[in-house]
Amino acid sequence: MKPSEFVRLIKKNGFALDHHGTRHDFYRNGDRLVMVERHTKDIKPKTLAKMMRDTGLK
C-alpha cells in the first residue's frame, strides 16, 4: 500500500492532519496518533501492520 492510499483510508475513518515533521506527517483522531512517511514507494508489510494497529483499523 502506498502512503497516499493509507492516508485516504485513515481520513475516511476520522483522522485529520495534526502536523508536519521533517519527513513524516502526523495524523490524529482523538487520542490516537499515527505517523506516515512522505514517499512514493510502498509501505513495508510489518510497518503497515503496526500502523493499522495504531489506528485501530485491524
pLDDT tens digits along 3-21:
999 999 999 999 999 999 9
Residue 29 in any domain: the answer is yes
Reported in sequence order, the residue ranges of 1-58 that DSSP labels E, i.e. its strands, are: 16-20, 24-29, 32-37
Cell digits for 10? 485513515
**Domain of residue 28, residue span:** 3-45
Q: Say what percent of the chain tops pLDDT 70.
A: 100
Q: What is the pLDDT of residue 12?
A: 96
Residue 9 in any domain: the answer is yes
Residue 12 Cα distances to 16, 18, 43, 55, angstroms? 9, 15, 19, 12
Angle, in degrees to the nearest 10, between helices 45-55 and 3-12: 10
Residue 30 in any domain: the answer is yes
Residue 23 in any domain: the answer is yes
Q: What is the pLDDT of residue 58?
A: 80
Residue 12 in any domain: the answer is yes
Alpha helices in 1-58 (DSSP H): 3-12, 45-55
Name the amino acid, one letter, at 3.
Answer: P
Residue 18 in any domain: the answer is yes
Our count of domains for the chain comes to 1
Give the pTM.
0.89
Residue 51 in any domain: the answer is no
Q: What is the pLDDT of residue 45?
A: 96
